[in-house]
Amino acid sequence: AAGVIQSPRHLIKEKRETATLKCYPIPRHDTVYWYQQGPGQDPQFLISFYEKMQSDKGSIPDRFSAQQFSDYHSELNMSSLELGDSALYFCASSLQRREQFFGPGTRLTVL
Amino acid sequence: AQKVTQAQTEISVVEKEDVTLDCVYETRDTTYYLFWYKQPPSGELVFLIRRNSFDEQNEISGRYSWNFQKSTSSFNFTITASQVVDSAVYFCALSERTGGSNYKLTFGKGTLLTVNP
């Protein structure tokens, strides 16, 4: 069965640089979520999209933005990176109110 | 605001022991969903189960079982005859409706389960 695809799997950036993370949801899923998981922490909700429209924002810094494209893939753009942005970033997709299936995550390291 | 509490930070057992992971939640929603996810050392989040607030039937899937008790706002997870491959962090999560069909997840802090041979 198809799963959520995230790229890249690992990313190393310097402070103040920009990063773009990509997510390809499971086909026919209508909702995409982004979560951030710091070291030893639980995942924290950042933002979600339903049918390509932003539906909710969580604790997402103003330096971050995201969008969902016509083919349903989503991108999380992160600018002016800080050391504290180092984390595992998960994308998840779901069909309506059903369970969210998570991608393998992108491990971002900011040096 | 909703909240999920996993009081057990770490649990260590010996293989073949049974182990129960506790989860207590708070929500003002009358309709909600509860989930368990497994995060092995490789880092991915693996979906285990979803339970809606109107279905209090317990569920068993192989060595896994779940006990949902609305009266005590608990959704506990038991692994029977644990195996080394069960070693992982287990997260309990609660979904809150944010609009339309969206249900963002609020996670507990997770319980690190270590199963020793």
Q: Which helix (H) or strand (E) holds A51?
A: none
pLDDT computed for residue B102 by the predictor: 65
Determine the 3-state secondary structure of B15 from DSSP: coil
* Residue A8: cis peptide before it, omega within 30 degrees of 0: yes
Q: Which residues of B touch A50 (CB under 8 A)?
A: 99-102
Strand partners for B27: none
- Report whether pLDDT(B101) > 60: no
Average pLDDT across chain B, whole number:
92
A24's CB contacts (< 8 A; 6+ apart) are A4, A5, A6, A72, A73
* Side-chain-side CA neighbours of residue A38 (13 Å): 8
- Percent of chain B scored above 70 by pLDDT? 96
Looking at CA atoms only, how far is residue A108 from chain B in angstroms? 13
Tens digit of pLDDT for each residue in A21-36?
999 999 999 899 999 9
Q: Do A43 and B91 count as a contact with CB atoms less than 8 A apart?
A: yes
Under the banding of pLDDT at 50, 70 and 90, the label for residue A12 is very high
- Report whether pLDDT(B1) > 80: no
Task: Name residue B8's amino acid.
Answer: Q
Tens digit of pLDDT for each residue in A52-94?
888 888 989 999 999 999 999 999 999 999 999 999 999 999 9
Q: Do B99 and A56 count as a contact with CB atoms less than 8 A apart?
A: yes
B18's CB contacts (< 8 A; 6+ apart) are B78, B79, B80, B81, B82
Interface test with A, best of B102, B109, B112 (most A CBs within 10 A): B102
Q: Which residues of A touch B99 (CB under 8 A)?
A: 50, 55-56
* Residue B117: cis peptide before it, omega within 30 degrees of 0: no
* Residue A108 or B100, more confident: A108
What is the distance between the alpha carbons of residues A79 and B12, in angstroms, rounded to a whole number? 41
Q: Do A43 and B105 count as a contact with CB atoms less than 8 A apart?
A: yes
What is the distance between the alpha carbons of residues B50 and A39, in angstroms, rounded to a whole number? 26
